[in-house]
């Protein structure tokens, strides 16, 4: 499966599907690693479970959950400990996604997970390579009803040590799809079958608000009967790298 997804086709979908204000500029339709995109979260201040408990609000008004926000960011995570811009550019394509069983332990993602830096990545579809033909065939995976999907992700903030500039970035979390009726046909032979962890709409706020110790409960394979696969009709397009891992 290639690290490519399709951004929302209509600005109004940001409001109707995710309850966030649309961006002033729509951005690129096809998003690949190191390209600008967006994620949705409630706050850009990360805090561990213990820190969140210590900062817990003490009155009902303060307990009201903050509104969701749409954040411009790069697809392909850059960990906060990266030392240089050149290293950041090299790492981002390799850190565009992370398996659910590694997101809390992998060196590049652990800090974001433990600090509850979770997000929702809005998309119309994602692209997977069908390896059943003689050549990999890029295939568009979307919802049957044509509505947007919200994929689970983690975000990070990186500060360039040379000029102090800030880069926000994110990675999409994937789940095992070995038993998935649709997605089990796409990875290369012998490779683990994976798909983005697509969240149920009713779980968006719970995913963003959950403690790190509980958040993995939301990471499940999306039902095959709710997804539709169609080959990408574009001459000369080369399939992307196998990197939904």
- Condensed to tens digits (0 to 9), the pLDDT of residues 176-224 reads 999 999 998 887 777 889 999 999 999 999 999 999 999 999 999 999 9
Residue 237 has pLDDT above 80, yes or no: no
pLDDT of residue 60: 44
Q: How far apart are CA 10 and CA 81, in angstroms?
A: 36
Q: Where are the domains of the chain?
A: 5-50+65-231
Q: Which DSSP category does 230 fall into?
A: E
Indicate if the pLDDT at residue 44 is higher than 50.
yes
The closest alpha carbon to 228, from 159, 160, 140, belongs to 140
> Is 58 within 8 Å of 114 (Cβ atoms)?
no
For residues 8 and 122, give the distance between their C-alpha atoms in angstroms, rounded to a whole number. Answer: 7
Evaluate the CA torsion angle 35, 40, 44, 47 in order and state its sign.
negative
- CA separation for the pair 91, 94 (Å, rounded): 5
Fold of 5-50+65-231: hypothetical protein yedk fold (3.90.1680)
**For residues 184 and 129, is the Cβ–Cβ distance under 8 A?**
no
């Amino acid at each position: 499966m290639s690290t490519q997804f399709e951004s929302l086709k209509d600005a109004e979908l940001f409001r109707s599907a995710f309850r966030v204000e649309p961006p002033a500029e729509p951005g690129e339709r096809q998003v690949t690693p190191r390209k600008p995109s967006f994620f949705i979260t409630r706050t850009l201040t990360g805090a561990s479970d213990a820190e969140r408990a210590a900062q817990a609000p003490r009155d009902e008004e303060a307990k009201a959950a903050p509104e969701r926000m749409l954040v411009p960011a790069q697809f392909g995570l850059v960990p906060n400990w990266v030392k240089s811009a050149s290293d950041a550019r090299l790492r981002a394509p390799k850190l565009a996604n992370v398996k659910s069983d590694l997101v809390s332990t992998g060196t590049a993602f652990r800090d974001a997970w433990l600090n509850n830096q979770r997000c929702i990545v809005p998309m119309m579809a994602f692209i997977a390579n069908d390896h059943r033909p003689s050549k990999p065939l890029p295939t568009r995976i979307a919802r049957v009803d044509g509505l947007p999907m919200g994929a689970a992700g983690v975000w990070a903030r990186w500060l360039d040590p040379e000029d102090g500039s800030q880069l926000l970035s994110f990675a999409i979390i994937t789940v095992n799809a070995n038993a998935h009726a649709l997605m089990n046909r796409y990875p290369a032979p012998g490779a683990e079958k994976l798909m983005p962890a697509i969240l149920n709409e009713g779980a968006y706020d719970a995913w963003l608000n959950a403690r790190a110790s509980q958040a993995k409960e939301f990471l499940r394979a999306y039902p095959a009967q709710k997804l539709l696969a169609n080959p990408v009709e574009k001459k000369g397009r080369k399939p992307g790298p196998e990197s939904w891992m």
